Amino acid sequence: MKFILMFLLAAITGSSDLAAQQLNNNQTDAVKQLLTAIEQGMKAQMPDAPDAVAERPALLRRIPEYRTLESEIDALWIPAFRNLATVAPTETSQLILVQAAGNMNPENYVNFLNDIASRYEQRSISEALLNRAINPDGKLEYILADNYQNRAVIEFCQRAKRIFANNPQMISMFDAILSGETEKGIADMRRGGGLNLPEIKLAQRGPLLSHTPNVSPLPAATSSPVPANTPSPTAAAPAVETEAPSHTFGIVVGVILVLLVIGGVFAWMRRRG
Amino acid sequence: MAIETLLLVPVDINVWKAGTAGPPDPTQPDHGVIAQKGDALTICIDGTSQNPPSIAPNQPVWKISQMQSDGSYSSTWQQIGTGPRFDYTTTTSGVFELEAVFFGDDAHASKYLRKADETGQGQTVSYNKKGTPDAFGVTDTAIQIAIKHSAGINLGSAAYDVGTNHPPSFPPGSDKCNLFVADKCNDAGAIVPWINGLNPFKPYPPTANQWAGTDPKNIPNWTLLPANALPQPGFVVSDPNSLGSGHCGVLDYDGWGIGAGVTYHVSKRYPFFPESRQRQYSP
């Protein structure tokens, strides 16, 4: 009896993993198709310099597929970055993804930054891309400064300081963010009419970075944008909360099925007895 | 072999301001041919030679095409002169591509091309490479040329990176594209009033959205041009962003915007596009 139940549980768990994998594959394909269409749209806008379009979100938004990517980015960024080498093999296509992330749900953004930082440390993305992620061109533009007292933001800024240990300007930037100096300047701009971007406050949470790292192993990078002596990430592993629902759903379905089977077995045994 | 056959091979074209030493050094950050309307440009085939090749005196026919408000070039090519070397007195302001047509063969016209990859940007870009079409710029006013130079000599500079500190108004972590524009225009003598800020000791220059006119605050002495205005070097160009703070820069000789970005040093990465609006200094 015990073995039968274990077999059933294994089968159910396996099928939910398969379903999750299928979902992941579908999302990966969806991102790939969107990026292909966006790059075609960029070429149509500027045949001689399509890459320049990727630097201007206002231009990207003229492409319907980019607007779709932007609206779906909260669900798509994890599968997209997990399969980055396949989905977005060029820096331009990676930049498109990062640009779209500039308007993601603010609650996902710090997780996204940690993921990007890990990829930078693993030499799979360029410093320019990390810079763009840290300085998004959209509603999240000043989210780090606006949330300088948020635990997750503090942890990310500390991590970024370690990543940019050899860059005094970046260190001073993150110091200014952490001290609240940047927030004060931004608040002055808002009051004085120099900035119309509304403030976004993140919910204060527990220690996000205690979560299990969820960044998948990355394929070997073809080129190395990071100096060999870049400090390796130890303390700061990314927390990808948005990945939890597919696993949770699978587990819940599995447990319900197991309980139904157990209930059925008990009912059958009582009837016989 | 007939000379017509020989001239199917593209010829090298050079342009420089008449009366100056010759073509600008394309490896310098602030290169590019620029003139004020009414100034003459020397246009020549076969490099800087003082003795251009001896071909029929009425060949080639020189034609220009003007950059439109959306950044594309007009499909209409206007004839401006003939001969292997001549001085063209500019009559219209704008940004122009140039070609030499031999014996009426428009299909095989030789284009005026970039002599080197765009330099001074801090990072390599995949566009504006050596061998792609170049342009020359003509301005309404002398101060536009000064504004263009003021911005151009900063190409590659890290002085306006997002991590820099410009007290009292721009702490590290704040975008500084509008500070770059205000500083460079002021350096050139085109006064940009710092119109924002409640504290008189802590003012701010106009934002990108204000330059673009989507934030309606007035910028004295700077005329917001119609959306279909043809680009000129030395205009301030701005890309509004309703979801962010936008981006602004100064138009270079070839109609590309020079700006201080958040990802790169001062660079020339911004082609002109319909979302953008331009302003001209008109005190």
Mean pLDDT on A96-110: 93
CA distance B283 to B276: 22
pLDDT attached to residue A105: 94
pLDDT attached to residue B9: 67
Q: How much of chain A, in percent, has pLDDT values that exceed 90?
A: 42
pLDDT attached to residue B62: 96
Lowest mean pLDDT among B20-24, B101-105, B134-138, B154-158: B20-24
pLDDT, tens digit, for every residue of A113-127?
999 999 999 998 988
pLDDT above 90 (res B236)? yes
pLDDT attached to residue B232: 98
pLDDT above 80 (res A11)? no
**What is the band of B48 on the pLDDT scale with cuts at 50, 70, 90?**
very low
C-alpha atoms less than 13 angstroms from C-alpha of A8 in its C-beta half-sphere: 16
pLDDT attached to residue A250: 56
Mean pLDDT on B201-210: 90
Q: Is the model more confident about B105 or about B261? A: B105
A175: which chain B residues are within 8 Å (Cβ-Cβ)?
A: 172
Mean pLDDT on A31-55: 90
Mean pLDDT on A141-148: 94
State the average pLDDT for chain A. 78
Mark which residues 44-73 of A lie under 8 Å from B by CB. 45-46, 48-49, 51-53, 55-59, 62
Q: Is the model more confident about B52 or about A146? A: A146
pLDDT above 80 (res B3)? no
pLDDT attached to residue B282: 96
pLDDT attached to residue A1: 53
Instruction: Please tell me the distance in Å from B192's CA to the nearest CA on chain A.
Output: 14
Mean pLDDT on A91-101: 93
DSSP classification of residue B75: S
Element (H, E) at B173: none
CA distance A191 to A171: 27
> Would you say the C-alpha torsion A166, A168, A173, A176 has a positive or negative sign?
positive
pLDDT attached to residue B54: 58
pLDDT attached to residue B189: 97
Give first-to-last CA distance, chain A, whole Å: 16
**What is the band of A267 on the pLDDT scale with cuts at 50, 70, 90?**
confident
Lowest mean pLDDT among B1-5, B22-26, B233-237: B1-5
pLDDT above 70 (res A8)? no
pLDDT, tens digit, for every residue of A129-144?
998 899 888 889 899 9
A76: CB partners within 8 A, 6+ apart: A27, A30, A31, A69
**What is the band of A253 on the pLDDT scale with cuts at 50, 70, 90?**
low
Mark which residues 234-263 of B lie under 8 Å from A by CB. 239-241, 243-245, 247, 261-263
pLDDT attached to residue B120: 58
Q: Is the model more confident about B199 or about A139? A: A139
Total CB pairs under 8 A between chain A and B: 142
3-state helix, strand, coil in chain A (%, to 5): 70, 0, 30
pLDDT above 70 (res B176)? yes
pLDDT attached to residue A210: 38
Interface test with B, best of A169, A174, A177, A178 (most B CBs within 10 A): A169
**What is the band of A5 on the pLDDT scale with cuts at 50, 70, 90?**
low
Q: Is the model more confident about A210 or about A167? A: A167
pLDDT attached to residue A228: 35
* Cβ–Cβ under 8 Å, residues A61 and A99: no
Q: Would you list the DSSP string of B10-36?
A: PPPEEEEETTSSSS--TTSTT-SEEEE
Q: Is the model more confident about A236 or about B4? A: B4
Q: At what angle do helices A244-272 and A2-45 cross, to 10 degrees?
A: 150
Mean pLDDT on B181-188: 97
A121: CB partners within 8 A, 6+ apart: A163, A226, A230, A232, A233
Q: Scan for tokens 């990465």, then name that residue.
A: B269
CA distance B51 to A184: 64
pLDDT above 70 (res B241)? yes
pLDDT attached to residue A241: 36
Interface test with A, best of B118, B169, B174 (most A CBs within 10 A): B174
Interface test with B, best of A63, A143, A146, A189 (most B CBs within 10 A): A189
CA distance A109 to A136: 10
**What is the band of A22 on the pLDDT scale with cuts at 50, 70, 90?**
confident
pLDDT attached to residue A200: 92
Q: Would you list the DSSP string of A92-115?
A: HHHHHHHHHHTTS-HHHHHHHHHH
pLDDT, tens digit, for every residue of A64-78?
999 999 999 999 999
Q: What is the CA radius of gyration of chain B?
A: 20
